[in-house]
Structure 1
Amino acid sequence: MTSTENNNNNSNNIHDGKSEKEHADAIHSQHFKTELIAGAMSGALTRCIVAPLDVVKIRFQLQKHDTSHAHQSAVYKSTLQQEYSGVFQTLSKITREEGYRALWKGNLTAEILWISYGAAQFACYSSLNRILDENYTKNICKDEHYKPPPIISLVSGGLSSAAATLLSYPFDTIRTNIVSKKHHVSIYETLKELEKTRSIYNGVGSSLLQIVPLMALQFTFYETLKHTWINLRTNHGNASTQTAKADPVGQFICGGLSGAMSKFLVLPLDVIKKRLQVSKGSTMHYTITTMYRYEGWKSFFKGAIPSLIKAGCSSSLSFMFNNTTTQILKN
Structure 2
Amino acid sequence: MEEELLDWEENTHNLLFWKHMICGSCAGVVEHSISFPFDTIKTFAQAESTKMITFSDTAKLVRKEGILRMWHGVSTVICGCVPAHAAYFSIYEFSKSHFDIQSNSQYYLWSTAITGALASTSHDIILNPMDVVKQRVQLNRIKGPFKMMLEIIKTEGFFSLYRSLLITILMNWPNAALFMTFYENLKSHFFSDGKVTMLGYFSCAGISSALAAGLTTPLDVIKTRLQTQNEESPLYKNKGFGMDKKDKRKLRYKSIYDTAKLIYLEDGALGFVKGIVPRMLFFLPGAAVSWSVYEYTKRLISKY
TM surpasses 0.5: yes
TM-score for both structures, normalised by structure 1: 0.75
Residue in structure 2 matched with residue 249 of structure 1 by the alignment: 199
1:277-316 deviation per Cα after TM superposition (whole angstroms, max 9, x unaligned): 0125422222111110011111110011111111111111
More helix by percentage: 1
Alignment of 1:292 onto 2:264? yes
Aligned mate of 1:86, from 54, 57, 68: 54
CA distance in 2 between partners of 1:267 and 1:147 (Å): 30
1:72-130 deviation per Cα after TM superposition (whole angstroms, max 9, x unaligned): xxxxxxx6x55x3423x243222212222211110111112322222111111111233
For the aligned residue pairs, the C-alpha RMSD in angstroms reads 2.2
Displacement of 1:54: 0.9
Aligned mate of 1:278, from 209, 228, 245: 228
Bigger radius of gyration among the two: 1
TM-score for both structures, normalised by structure 2: 0.82
Alignment of 1:189 onto 2:147? yes
Displacement of 1:30: 2.9
Tell me the secondary structure at the aligned position of residue 269 of structure 1. helix
Structure 1: unaligned runs, 5 residues or longer: 1-25, 65-78, 235-240
For CA contacts below 8 A with separation 6 or more, give which structure has more relative contact order. 2
Aligned mate of 2:124, from 145, 165, 170: 165
Tell me the secondary structure at the aligned position of residue 200 of structure 1. helix
* 8 A Cα contact 1:147 1:223, kept in partner: no
CA distance in 2 between partners of 1:309 and 1:257 (Å): 10
- Among the aligned pairs, what percent are the same residue? 24
1:158-200 deviation per Cα after TM superposition (whole angstroms, max 9, x unaligned): 011011100111111110111122x420122211122121211
- The correspondence of residues 207-218 of structure 1 with structure 2, limited to 5 A, is 207-218=168-179
AA of the residue aligned to 1:49:
I
Aligned mate of 2:63, from 65, 89, 96: 96
1:44-77 deviation per Cα after TM superposition (whole angstroms, max 9, x unaligned): 1111111111111111111x4xxxxxxxxxxxxx
AA of the residue aligned to 1:290:
L
CA distance in 1 between partners of 2:106 and 2:132 (Å): 35
AA of the residue aligned to 1:164:
H
- The correspondence of residues 25-104 of structure 1 with structure 2, limited to 5 A, is 30-62=15-47, 64=48, 81-82=50-51, 84-87=52-55, 89-104=56-71
Structure 2: unaligned runs, 5 residues or longer: 1-10, 231-250
Residue in structure 1 matched with residue 81 of structure 2 by the alignment: 114
Q: How many residues align?
A: 268
CA distance in 2 between partners of 1:50 and 1:110 (Å): 12
AA of the residue aligned to 2:21:
L
CA distance in 2 between partners of 1:156 and 1:311 (Å): 19
CA distance in 2 between partners of 1:115 and 1:211 (Å): 18
